[in-house]
Amino acid sequence: MIETLQQRVNADQGLVRRGRYLTTIFLLEVGRTSWLVSIFEGRIVSVTSGPFVMPSSSFALRASEDEWQKFWSRRPPPGSNDLMALIKRRVLKAEGNLQVFMSHLRYFKEALAKLRAEGAAA
Amino acid sequence: MSATFEPITGRYMHLDLFGRPHRIYVEEAGEGTPLLCLHTAGSDGRQYRGLMNDARVTSKHRVIAFDMPWHGKSSPPAGWHDEEYQLTSVQYTTMVLEISAALGLDRPILIGCSIGGRIALHLALEHPESFRAIIGLQAGAHVDPYYDLNFLHRSDVHGGEVCGAIVSGLVGPDAPDKERWETLWHYMQGGPGVFKGDLYFYKLDGDIRGRVAQIDTRRCPLFLLSGEYDYSCTPEETLAVANSIPGCEVIIMMGLGHFPMSEDPQAFLAHLLPVLEKIGAK
């Protein structure tokens, strides 16, 4: 499912436009599986699954598979509906150079919400 | 198509606060029992546009919302450019009481959301005689910081973008898009460091956990209304406050978030109107 992030994000012209000054690689950890997501000027150019020997990224977002599944459900329950809600509950760890994450917070919230079940709100 | 006008009028009030002259924007609509409205951190009085445009409210109430200094169309005081803005409990209390007095309001109903809900608890404790009833929206006794507040005010992060994005998930899932994005726009328009300065009160200075149980609802009725999807002030936190205060009435508003009056005015009014009726009957 995570691989579809590339197509889902790149198909949203508004999202890509808002990310036009964003070029980075971030690490997404879903339970025991990790992914490196490479972004160039707002477009996702690759989504690569681990395990990695020496993953290099600007920042990492780590949560359990169970927490991500709730976040990606069609109507997430209270406390699971937003990245900041997960961070508040201490179940999502954001680590690394968070200036990249925070300066494009709307982009990352909306990009990751693209993995929600079809028809769900961003 | 001909133009239409809302029944809201706005004026600029000049008033000394904390020993300094201030220019404060005040909006109002309706006639009757004064209903003084306090906006959330980093936003302004436009959050109450739904109440001011609803005849069910304005036929019996004079609805008044002011933009706090530094917010909306109110100015920061002269000299602001060399200061760091930080809201304190003492300043906030003084501001509400002085503006209410300057407007000549006779024991208004007070309604405040988030930081406005927090100061509502302070006022219920310390100045119950000044209000006919107090309604706290998303009112908790304390919130621990859950992100680095410095990101709200640093030159390599756009303040408007990050303030809007920080709070976007606090809007409930059923909010109409128009009202959701209007609510977020207000956040995107805030001045540099203002949201962060308000959160000094919300997350540090305004902690009232140790005293909230001393509120006496016989001196001033207290109603707490909180949205189900608020993860900043959760329903559990509001219920904890309500359960510690004898006589406090509490409503958890399903589907709503942290900005009920602004994110979904119609859904919010379904909860608020019975409360206003109850206050009117007292």
pLDDT tens for residues A18-73? 999 999 999 999 999 999 999 999 999 999 999 999 999 999 999 999 999 999 99
- In this prediction, residue B268 carries a pLDDT of 98
Cβ distance of B146 and A88 shorter than 8 Å: yes
- In this prediction, residue A1 carries a pLDDT of 87
Q: Which two tokens stand for residue A70?
A: 């709730």
Per-residue tens of pLDDT for chain B, all 282 residues: 799 999 999 999 999 999 999 999 999 999 999 999 999 999 999 999 999 999 999 999 999 999 999 999 999 999 999 999 999 999 999 999 999 999 999 999 999 999 999 999 999 999 999 999 999 999 999 998 899 999 999 999 999 999 999 999 999 999 999 999 999 999 999 999 999 999 999 999 999 999 999 999 999 999 999 999 999 999 999 999 999 999 999 999 999 999 999 999 999 999 999 999 999 997
Contact, B223 vs B144, CB < 8 A? Answer: no
Q: How many A×B Cβ pairs under 8 Å?
A: 57
Residues of B in contact with A97 (CB under 8 A): none
Q: Which of A71, A81, A83, A102 to mutate to test the interface with B (most CBs of B within 10 A)?
A: A102
Q: Which two tokens stand for residue B47?
A: 């959050």
Could you tell me the strand order of the sheet in which B20-29 lies? B9-17, B20-29, B61-66, B33-38, B109-113, B133-137, B222-227, B249-253
How far apart (Å, rounded) are the C-alpha atoms in residues B244 and B238? 10
Buried b (16+ CB within 10 A) or exposed e, A17-47: ebbeebebbbbbbbeeebbbbbbeebbbeeb
Residue A121 has pLDDT above 70, yes or no: no
Is A77 inside a domain boundary?
A: yes
Contact, A95 vs A62, CB < 8 A? Answer: yes
Instruction: Count how many domains chain A has.
Output: 1
B169 shares contact with chain A (CB less than 8 Å): yes
Contact, B53 vs B8, CB < 8 A? Answer: yes
Contact, A84 vs B147, CB < 8 A? Answer: yes
A120 shares contact with chain B (CB less than 8 Å): no
- In this prediction, residue B282 carries a pLDDT of 79
Residue A119 has pLDDT above 60, yes or no: no
B158 shares contact with chain A (CB less than 8 Å): yes
- In this prediction, residue A120 carries a pLDDT of 52
DSSP A83-119: HHHHHHTT-SEEEE-HHHHHHTHHHHHHHHHTTSPTT
The residue ranges of every structural domain in chain B are 9-281
CB atoms within 10 A of CB B209: 12
The fold of B9-281 is Rossmann fold (3.40.50)
Question: At a CB cut-off of 8 Å and minimum separation 6, what does B249 contact?
Answer: B221, B222, B223, B224, B242, B275
CB atoms within 10 A of CB B41: 27
- Chain length of chain B: 282
- In this prediction, residue A26 carries a pLDDT of 98
Q: Which of B150, B155, B226, B231 to mutate to test the interface with A (most CBs of A within 10 A)?
A: B231
Is A120 inside a domain boundary?
A: no
Q: Evaluate the omega torsion of the peptide bond into residue A51 and state whether it is cis, within 30 degrees of 0.
A: yes
Structural domain for A79, as ranges? 2-113
Cβ distance of B231 and A99 shorter than 8 Å: no
Q: CA gyration radius for chain B?
A: 17
Q: Which two tokens stand for residue B154?
A: 């640093």
A22/chain B closest Cα distance in angstroms: 12
- In this prediction, residue B144 carries a pLDDT of 85
- In this prediction, residue A83 carries a pLDDT of 98
Cβ distance of A85 and B234 shorter than 8 Å: no
Cβ distance of A81 and B169 shorter than 8 Å: yes
Looking up residue A64, the CATH number of its domain turns out to be 3.30.1050.10
A24 shares contact with chain B (CB less than 8 Å): no
